[in-house]
């Protein structure tokens, strides 16, 4: 087994297959902690985790907060709505101020791609990327992969389809990096306008036919249509999207019987997924939420031990 060396987790693009597997196996051990009567271990006792969120997020922030608390760390939440960022402080200055408070880990969510990496380069403490622009959302992909592995026992050789707004999705990008490194065959499916040019170079198959994407898939990861990012051009109407790409019971009947249905949330019922599918027996959507805690505990634990710290 390899050792974890990094002080940061910025994205899955940088990680080796072995590093991803180490996070997954560590997460497996952490899952049991959340099933105990006393859901807490002292591993990060005395450490401070700062959640620095420049974008609205409830589930990811809460998941990180629960993970940190189950490791006995102290957690501070900074939302930029109510912080000095409003007064014009730069990201690096904010990071250095957090470091000056003797915090140990910053969990950052930012609307600019590359923000986490830039922060990581400029502070000595650990940085965990909780989503940066359209770039990466590594812990989401790790929990998707963890859930998939738990359900199907392996990743290698699986056919995984990612359906939805691929162009604007950091979840898609992180999933593609992670899944292909572990040997899965990935298909992305979206309206042509939402497929970024050159995506094939990441080693994926591209289609704009949802039935095609579902046909051979062992699992489908349905992304949320991010209508709040709509700038009035590329996005189809909600109903139109549902008709053409929505994952419904009728469409699943043509897929493998035990296809695993995933969604990173929040759900737009009747847009990218029907209620019957979201609540159906193939859905692992709520298990993803539970697994997210174990995965984030593993990530916080590992970066806290990162050996490349100055």
Partner 1 sequence: MEFKEKAKIMDKEAMERALMRIAHEIIEKNKGIKDLALIGIRNRGAYLAERIATCIEKIEKGKVLTGILDITLYRDDLTHASEQPLVRKTEIDFDISDKKIILVDDVLYTGRTARCALDALVDFGRPKYIQLAVLIDRGHRELPVRADYIGKNVPTSLKEAVQVRLEEVDGKDEVVILEQGG
Catalytic residue among 17, 31, 59, 229: 59
The nearest distance, CB 19 to partner 1, in angstroms, is 13
Residue pointed to by tokens 């094939």: 200
Our CA dihedral for 16, 293, 307, 135, rounded to 10 degrees, sits at 50
Question: Which residue ranges make up the site for partner 1 (CB under 8 A)?
Answer: 1, 3-4, 26, 28-30, 32-33, 36-38, 40-43, 71, 298, 301, 304-305, 307
Nearer to partner 1, 72 or 77 (CB): 72
The nearest distance, CB 15 to partner 1, in angstroms, is 16
Assigned token pair, 268: 């737009």
- In Å, what is the CA distance from 201 to each residue of 27, 171, 204? 30, 17, 7
Nearer to partner 1, 38 or 100 (CB): 38
Catalytic residue among 6, 70, 109, 185: 109
- Our answer to whether residue 192 is catalytic in this structure is no
Order the strands of the 126-132 sheet from edge to edge: 74-79, 48-53, 105-110, 126-132
Catalytic residue among 60, 94, 147, 180: 60
The nearest distance, CB 9 to partner 1, in angstroms, is 15
Contacts of 46 (CB under 8 A, 6+ apart): none
The beta strand positions in the chain, using DSSP E, are: 48-53, 74-79, 105-110, 126-132, 159-163, 185-189, 205-207, 219-222, 260-262
* C-alpha angle 194-213-17 in degrees, rounded to nearest 5: 85
The nearest distance, CB 26 to partner 1, in angstroms, is 5
Nearer to partner 1, 37 or 100 (CB): 37
Contacts of 111 (CB under 8 A, 6+ apart): 54, 55, 132, 133
Catalytic residue among 137, 170, 173, 185: 137
Residue pointed to by tokens 């957690």: 75
Assigned token pair, 176: 């593609």
Rg of the chain (C-alpha set): 19
The nearest distance, CB 24 to partner 1, in angstroms, is 12
- Our answer to whether residue 109 is catalytic in this structure is yes
Nearer to partner 1, 255 or 297 (CB): 297
- Our answer to whether residue 70 is catalytic in this structure is no
The beta strand positions in 5-95, using DSSP E, are: 48-53, 74-79
Nearer to partner 1, 70 or 170 (CB): 70
The nearest distance, CB 32 to partner 1, in angstroms, is 6
Nearer to partner 1, 133 or 306 (CB): 306
- Please provide residue 306's backbone torsions phi and psi, each rounded to the nearest 5 degrees: -50, 130
Q: Which residues are catalytic?
A: 59-60, 87, 109, 137
């Amino acid at each position: 087994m390899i050792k974890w060396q990094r002080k940061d987790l910025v994205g899955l693009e940088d990680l080796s297959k072995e590093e991803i597997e180490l996070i997954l196996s560590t997460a497996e051990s952490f899952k049991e902690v959340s099933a105990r009567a006393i859901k807490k271990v002292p591993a990060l006792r005395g450490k401070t985790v700062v959640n620095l969120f420049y974008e609205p997020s409830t589930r990811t922030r809460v998941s990180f907060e629960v993970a940190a608390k189950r490791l006995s760390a102290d957690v501070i939440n900074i939302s930029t709505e109510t912080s000095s960022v409003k007064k014009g402080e730069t990201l690096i200055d904010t990071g250095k101020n957090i470091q000056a408070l003797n915090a140990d880990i910053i969990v950052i969510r930012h609307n600019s791609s590359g923000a986490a990496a830039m922060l990581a380069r400029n502070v000595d403490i650990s940085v965990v990327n909780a989503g940066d622009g359209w770039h990466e959302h590594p812990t989401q992909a790790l929990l998707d992969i963890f859930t998939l592995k738990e359900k199907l026992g392996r990743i290698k050789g699986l056919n995984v389809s990612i359906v939805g707004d691929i162009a604007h999705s950091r979840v898609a990008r992180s999933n593609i990096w992670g899944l292909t490194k572990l040997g899965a065959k990935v298909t992305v499916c979206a309206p042509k306008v939402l497929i970024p040019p050159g995506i094939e170079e990441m080693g994926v198959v591209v289609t704009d036919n949802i039935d095609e994407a579902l046909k051979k898939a062992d699992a489908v990861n349905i992304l949320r249509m991010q209508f709040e990012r709509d700038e009035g051009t590329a996005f189809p109407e909600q109903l139109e999207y549902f008709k053409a790409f929505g994952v419904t019971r009728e469409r699943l009947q043509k897929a493998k019987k035990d296809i695993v249905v995933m969604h990173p949330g929040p759900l737009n019922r009747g847009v990218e997924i029907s209620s019957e599918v979201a609540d159906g027996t193939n859905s692992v959507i709520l298990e993803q939420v539970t697994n997210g805690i174990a995965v984030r505990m593993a990530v916080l634990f590992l970066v806290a031990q990162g050996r490349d710290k100055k």
